[in-house]
Amino acid sequence: MKGYSWRRFFALLRKEWIQVRRDAMTLRIIIAIPIMQLFLFGYAINSDPKNLPTGLLSSDHSKYERTIVAALKNSGYYNIVPLASEAEAEEGLAAGDLLFVIAIPPGFDRAVDRGESPSILVDADATDPSAIGNATAALASLGADLQRDLPAIRQSEPQTPAFQFVVHARYNPEQLTVLNIVPGLICIVLTFSTLFVTTLSITKERERGTMENLLAMPVRPLEVMVAKISPYIVIGYVQVALILIASALFFHLPIRGSIPLLLFALGLFIGANLALGVLFSTISANQMQATQLAQFTLMPSFLLSGFMFPFRGMPLWAQWAGEVFPTTHAMRIVRGMLLKGNGWHEIAPELWPIALFALIVVTIAVRFYRETLD
């Protein structure tokens, strides 16, 4: 046994390679992760979002208005949607269906011709400052570009602007990045802590040899899963409370919505993540496989949720993929309730996808739960 033996080395190497080939799931995930990273960062991530949903409030539909609207569309940043009322505009901003509302005042043409330099009010959803930054910056150049379309008497006075855009940053007037990051961080922390805890639950019992005792009990798969999930829901609520208190004290995060409603929504989100972890634990042969499945899910969940990069800047296929993950909907709920004061009516469209995700995941986990060790 003295000295280094190449024969023994190659024997062990052959053994390890056979073991790797037998662990097909781990091998697939190792290959899939870098490919997924390449496509997500190459195609899905965009820090300069275009075609942002923009509502238009106007009563005159004048010639200058048509010129301004055409210029906004040609900039590539604004996707103009006519609105019927201010109430519709408020509802669109609160729900996140609109990122901008442009209000052109009555008598706009007449005011321009008289040299009164009227103002066009632009309400912007500033809950995510990075999503609207370039679009609002583009407004400054539009006024200068439109001077050529004004009457000759106005063109002789270039020092006086024909009109001006007045941007009103809603929900985050100072456009502080921290007010966007901290609410999203609540969802990220919950996803990390809850997903990994239950991901190892069943595989840990199987590897420690305690699964026999669990299988010997007169319990159904659904009862096992609910029992494993329930304690961690309480722990998740403790984490939420700590983050909210610390955010309010140190970062002055506003809490404008109903706290009980927020806790209900986050409870559903916590349950969905815990259920996903149980599913991974159920279909995995060991803890390594379960952990890799969780890591494989976490990356697209974070990147496509709108936490790190503007959701509206992603291509349509990436937005559809992001809608699958509960993190995307939870992010909108938390930001909307904390910064906008959203209520049940505004968050309901984001709650049912989380509930549907949890139901599907639990159903699959029950289906694949093995009541034997084979």
Higher pLDDT, 311 or 207: 311
* Distance, CA of 92 to CA of 89 (rounded, Å): 5
Task: Please provide the average confidence, as pLDDT, over all residues in the chain.
Answer: 82
Give residue 217's pLDDT.
62
Lowest mean pLDDT across 76-85, 329-338, 359-368? 359-368
Give residue 152's pLDDT.
45
Give residue 161's pLDDT.
74
Give residue 351's pLDDT.
95
Give residue 153's pLDDT.
45
Give residue 326's pLDDT.
94
Mean per-residue pLDDT for 212-239?
74
How crowded is residue 356: how many other Cβ atoms within 10 Å of its Cβ?
A: 12
Mean per-residue pLDDT for 262-289?
86
Domain ranges of the chain: 52-170, 177-368
pLDDT digit string, tens, across residues 297-307: 888 888 888 88
* Residues 201, 240, 238, 262, Cα dihedral to 10°: -100
* Distance, CA of 11 to CA of 26 (rounded, Å): 22
- What is the identity of the amino acid at 151? P
Per-residue pLDDT band at 230 (split at 50, 70, 90): confident
Cβ-proximal residues to 259 (8 Å cutoff; 6+ apart), any chain: none
183 token code pair: 């609410």
Give residue 268's pLDDT.
93
**Residue 203 pLDDT exceeds 80:** no
Q: Cα dihedral sign for 355, 359, 365, 368?
A: negative
3.10.129.10, 3.40.50.720, 3.40.1710.10, 3.40.1390.10: which CATH number matches 52-170? 3.40.1710.10
With tokens 């009164």, the residue in question is 116
pLDDT digit string, tens, across residues 352-369: 999 999 999 988 887 876
Per-residue pLDDT band at 214 (split at 50, 70, 90): low
Per-residue pLDDT band at 64 (split at 50, 70, 90): confident
117 token code pair: 């330099």
Phi, psi of 197 (to 5 degrees): -65, -50
Higher pLDDT, 330 or 310: 330
Q: Name the DSSP class of 220.
A: -
**HEC string for 1-23:** CCCCCHHHHHHHHHHHHHHHHHC
Give residue 323's pLDDT.
94
Give residue 296's pLDDT.
82
Closest of 352, 369, 35, 323 to residue 227, by C-alpha: 369
**Residue 25 pLDDT exceeds 80:** no
Residues 357 and 271 sit within 8 Å (Cβ to Cβ): no
Give residue 355's pLDDT.
94
Give residue 212's pLDDT.
55
